[in-house]
Structure 1
């Protein structure tokens, strides 16, 4: 295969912009808020006292922000594919 064929098969991905970071932050905050009430068994791991969330520890934070990044990446890819974000 030549280089031109390889370049044409790579999909267009959006570059980093302030709008993509705002979308990611919003998705993460939504997932943290939902996880605060949806996780039934909380506080089994190390706690995070600086955030002011009683019973919401490091495992819960990692789980909710992981889900937030998955949803945020999907939202950014979806919005850029329909032309709303760049």
Structure 2
């Protein structure tokens, strides 16, 4: 049964600068979405340089970058399935 589950997993992509660029773009998009939709983005612990991080708190930035990594994972796997990478 375990071997049949291994056959389902997608092939991973080796790291290239293209993969990094896709992940960075997805994180920037996620931060923009978070900045526009989080009701209280500056609630909680502050980031070291508030102007650099857009005034977002530590929790808001962590949530946005987590969402960005989920978007990036989907984008990278989707692009690799389409043959872009």
Which stretch has the larger CA shift, 71-80 or 30-39?
30-39
Q: Does 1:31 align with 2:30?
A: yes
Which structure 1 residue ranges, 5 or more long, are not aligned? none
Q: Which secondary structure state, in structure 2, belongs to the residue aligned with residue 50 of structure 1? A: coil
What is the distance in 1 between the residues matched to 2:81 and 2:12?
9
What is the distance in 2 between the residues matched to 1:12 and 1:37?
35
What is the distance in 2 between the residues matched to 1:21 and 1:51?
25
- For residues 2-81 of structure 1, the aligned pairs below 5 Å read 9=7, 11-52=10-51, 53-54=54-55, 56-81=56-81
Shift of the 11–29 alpha-carbon distance from structure 1 to 2, 3 Å rule, reads: closer
Normalising by the residue count of structure 2, what TM-score does the alignment of the two structures yield?
A: 0.81
Larger radius of gyration: 1
